[in-house]
Amino acid sequence: MRKLLLTATALLLVVLGSAPQAQERWPEEYWNPKPLAEDLILPMPCGGAMAFRPVPTPIGQGLLADRPAMLGQADAETNYSEYLRQSFIAGPFRGADAAAPPRYFIGKYEVTRDQYAAINAGNCSAASTAGRLPQADIPWHEAVVFTTRYSAWLARNAREALPMREDARAFIRLPTEEEWEYAARGGAAISEADFAARNFPMPDGMQRYVWFQGTRSSGGRVRPIGMLEPNPLGIFDILGNVSEWVLEPYRLNRVGRAHGQAGGMVARGGDFLTPEEQIRSSLRIELPPLDRNGEPLKLRSLGFRPVLALVATSSDQRPAQLRAAFEAEAQTRGNASEDPARLLDVLKNETPDPALRQGIERVGAALRTAQRERNDQEIQAIQSQIAAAAQIGRQILLAEGFAELLGVFARVQAETVQAQRLLAEDQGRIAAVTQAEIQAALRRQQERTQQITNTMARIEAALRSQAEGQPARVQELAASYMRTVLAVGRSADRLRIQDAGNIVHQESQSQNLQHLPELVRIATRHMVAVSNGNPPSREQAMADLTNALRPAPQGSGAPAQRR
């Protein structure tokens, strides 16, 4: 019996000794060298991890609501490929705050060699400095295989870490062109003007944000992830370093829409061999699936970054809800005699000829599509006017703020004079008992004090000079604000104004401009009041705007303003 126990113990020790040990976690600097708030971190095999960034997509109400985005760039050299086109985008995930806009998640960095090996290699190895380089030299289909394998690993080993909606959990895939470019441009975190620019704002110069060709930047070689500054959404190296595969095939641009022929695969963003003047958010290149030798195409300057996605029908109830949402979207106001599309439905149901019924159905579909496009354009116009009114309100606050600024300045100046008087008294007492060197030092201190006094006087004069013109400017801005409020309120119904206002409010929260979210709410409220037949007076409207300068009282439950 004792011999049997010893044998069993020996076997157990062998088994335990041969069991795989827990893999040591990679140091964070290898996979997330610049941590940011709101990073979503997902684990990987071999002790690794991958960081993702949220991309908010402010939209209106309804299951079929999405966000229009004008992508591309007008340029005679590249219009056939990159001409301006209207696209639509919507994130599938909601944040912890129910009022926050939906979002999708995109890789914070390009997939690194270490991360690629963790999913595809049979054996784990420690993270390395060389492993921080982006994984390149892989064909499109191998990038797709990586996303599938990573999704499967997460589903088996880290299911609870995946964001979800209803019954569905996220999975990994390559980004669509719309998802990639919307994120590359900065999304809702920047103004419409900056979004439409050639590149996202780069106040310190492109070399601080992009690895491009030349000795001023990449020096002709790929660089480790996260060494430069991110774009406004906190995404690193999305332009330059390595180009990035996207999900769908290439299509030409037929003056604002995709051409009917699908071609090869698409690489976005440029790379370390792209000249600085060619770097742009709209840059897209078509590549064949095979090289000249018939092998899958792979380039040392071409990698990828994934997104987190979700199935659209995320629960058993979703299809029925989507059908209802579609029917509601397709309906137009008015009765059948006023609505051509509904009238065609009546005619279709009363027509026995199948060919005629089919023709009527196509005409009705075209009419509903045109109506939906008009509705979208109307909502976008209202959004632009609400945003404009909020910006006018912000200018009013800046103008009104001069009076308060002058008051603060006067108090500071009085306190400075008092401090100077006390200093002079102290200097007099000290001078009576000190040597000549100390007296000289005190005289130099008096000279510096006089310089400060003179500088403050110049600042006060400049402020007062600028403040003299503020009353007239405030009146001009107030008139412009009221014109905008009245124009929108008289031409749009309350629900559309509220829907557009919610979208602009979500956008303003992402832009991090002081007072702007509250000003958007105020402008929306004024427009709704006009729509309801109760327009505010100019005095009341200005008082509402000025109140945005004052902090909410404690315990009021008012939302905190982003600073």
pLDDT greater than 70 at residue 474: yes
Instruction: Indicate the pTM of the whole model.
Output: 0.75
CB neighbours of residue 170 within 10 Å: 25
Q: Which two tokens stand for residue 171?
A: 């999975």
In degrees, rounded to 5, the angle at the alpha carbon of residue 162 between the alpha carbons of residues 160 and 167 is 85
- Residue-wise pLDDT for 72-96, tens only, equals 999 999 999 999 999 999 999 987 7
Segment 176-187 shows an average pLDDT of 98
Q: How confident is the model at residue 14 (pLDDT cuts 50, 70, 90)?
A: very low
Segment 363-382 shows an average pLDDT of 76
The residue among 522 and 354 whose pLDDT is bigger is 522
Segment 520-547 shows an average pLDDT of 88
pLDDT greater than 60 at residue 551: no
Dihedral sign (CA 391, 392, 398, 400): negative
* Structural contact between residues 508 and 391, judged by C-beta atoms closer than 8 angstroms: no
- Residue-wise pLDDT for 308-336, tens only, equals 999 998 888 888 888 888 887 776 444 44
Percent of the chain with pLDDT over 90: 47
pLDDT of residue 460: 60
* Structural contact between residues 184 and 280, judged by C-beta atoms closer than 8 angstroms: no
Q: Which fold has domain 39-309?
A: paralog of FGE (formylglycine-generating enzyme) (3.90.1580)
pLDDT of residue 424: 62
The residue among 392 and 115 whose pLDDT is bigger is 115
The separation between CA 81 and the C-alpha centre of its own chain, rounded to angstroms, equals 25
Measure the CA–CA gap between 464 and 476, rounded to whole angstroms.
Answer: 20
Dihedral sign (CA 502, 506, 507, 508): positive
